Amino acid sequence: MLYDTHYKEGKKVSFKKYDIKIAGLLFTPKDFDSSKKYPGIVVCHPGGGVKEQCSSLYAWNLSQKGYIGLAFDASYQGESGGEPRYLDTPENRVEDIRCAVDYLISLPYIDEKKIGAMGVCAGAGYTMSAIQSEIRIKAAAGISTWNVGHSSRNGFPGVHIENFFQKMLLDVAEARNKEAKTGEITYCKYVPNSKDEIDENTSVIQKEAYEYYRTPRCAFPTSVNKYIFTCNDKFAAWDAFAYIDTVSPRPLLFVIGSEADTKYFTDDGFGKAKEPKELFVVQGATHVDLYDKPQFVNQVVDKLVEFFDKSVKNL
C-alpha cells in the first residue's frame, strides 16, 4: 500500500450479528491498561471497502489519542460471514453498527456511556443513519459522507442519465427475474476494475475510487469490488438523513474536502441536522483524499479528536 494503514497493529476480534460472525480489528492505546475504562469508537468502512483500509487507519489514529477503536468488515463482505456473499444493503450495514456497539460494551475496559461512531463515504451515511435510532451512540462523525439512497435514485455526481431511477429499477427487475428462473446471481462493481473501463462518462469520484481500491495505493485482497446487483433497489428506497433532525442534542460532525464533487451530500445532511453540529472543510482535498493521504488525514484526525474529546471522552 502506498500509505501505511496500520491495520497490522490491530487485534483480530469477532462478534456476532444474529448467526453471522463479524470480523473486526480492535485498536488500543499504547499505554493500554485493561483495569481502566476507555471510550470506544466504532469505525464504518466505505462501500466496497474492508476493515484493513481507511477504517483501520482512523481507528488506529484514534487509539493513539486514548480511544478504543473498532474497525470491522460489513456482514457478507471481507472476512465477515453471511450468505449470499457480497450482499450490501443499508439495513444490514446499519445493523452491523449496532452489533459493533454491542461488542464494545461487552468489553470490561469500555465505558459503555462513552461510545461514539464514525464512518467514511457510504460508511459515514450508514453511521449518520444509525445514530438516529441508536441512543447508545453519543456522537457521530462522517468523513466524505455519501448518501447511497440519493445516488441510487439520481446517479453519480456529475453524471446525468435521463430517467436514471426508472432504468435502474427495470434492470433490477430483469436481474431478479433471471435469479428467480435460474438461480444465477447478477453482480456489479463499485468502481472500475481497470483504466480500460474509464472513459469520458466516468464520474470524478469513480476515477478517484479506482485509484484507491484497484491499484497498489490501497488495494487489499478481501476488497473484491463486487456486490449483488439487486441491492440497488434497497439503496434507492433508503435515505441516510431521513430523521437526522431527531439526533439533537447529541452532536454531529461532517468532514469534507473543499474539492470533493460529493460535497452536496454533506451539505444536505448538515443542513437537515439540528444543533449541535459542526462542518469541517479540508482545504484542497477531494473526496478520496481523506481516505489515506497523510497531509489531509492528519487534519481530519485532529478535528475528530477535538470533537470526540468534547462529545464522548469528557462526558
The CATH number of the domain holding residue 82 is 3.40.50.1820
- Check residue 130 and give its pLDDT: 98
- How far, CA to CA in Å, does 227 sit from each of 10, 35, 113, 233? 26, 42, 35, 13
Helices (H), the chain: 54-63, 90-106, 122-133, 148-154, 164-182, 204-213, 232-236, 263-272, 289-292, 294-308
pLDDT digits (tens, 9 = 90+) for 204-222: 999 999 999 999 999 999 9
The residues of the chain scoring below 70 in pLDDT are: none
Q: Would you say residue 41 lies in a domain? A: yes
Domain-located, residue 309: yes
Number of domains in the chain: 1
Q: Can you give the residue range of the structural domain that contains 247? A: 7-158+234-313
84 upstream amide cis, omega within 30 of 0? yes
**Grid cell of 15 as nine digits:** 462478534
Whether 149 maps to a domain, the answer reads: yes
One-letter amino acid for residue 48 of the chain: G
Confidence (pLDDT) at 93: 98
Asked whether the whole model's pTM tops 0.95, one would answer yes
Q: What is the pLDDT of residue 3?
A: 86
pLDDT tens column, 247-276: 999 999 999 999 999 999 999 999 999 999
Tell me, what's the pLDDT at 100? 99
**Does a structural domain hold residue 165?**
no
pLDDT of res. 62: 98
272, three cell numbers = 437537515
- Residue 188 maps to a domain: no
Residue 6, by phi and psi: left (phi above 0), alpha (psi -120 to 50) or beta?
Answer: left
Distance in angstroms (rounded) separating the CA atoms of residues 225 and 222:
9
Distance CA 72, CA 79 (A): 9
Residue 221 lies in a domain: no
Q: Is residue 267 part of a domain?
A: yes
Q: Which 8-state DSSP code applies to residue 311?
A: I
* Beta carbons of 44 and 93 less than 8 angstroms apart: yes
Q: Cβ contacts of residue 86 below 8 Å, gap of 6+?
A: 76, 77, 187, 224, 226, 227, 228
Measured CA to CA in angstroms, residue 251 lies from 142, 217, 278 at distances of 12, 33, 8
Question: Does residue 220 fall inside a structural domain?
Answer: no
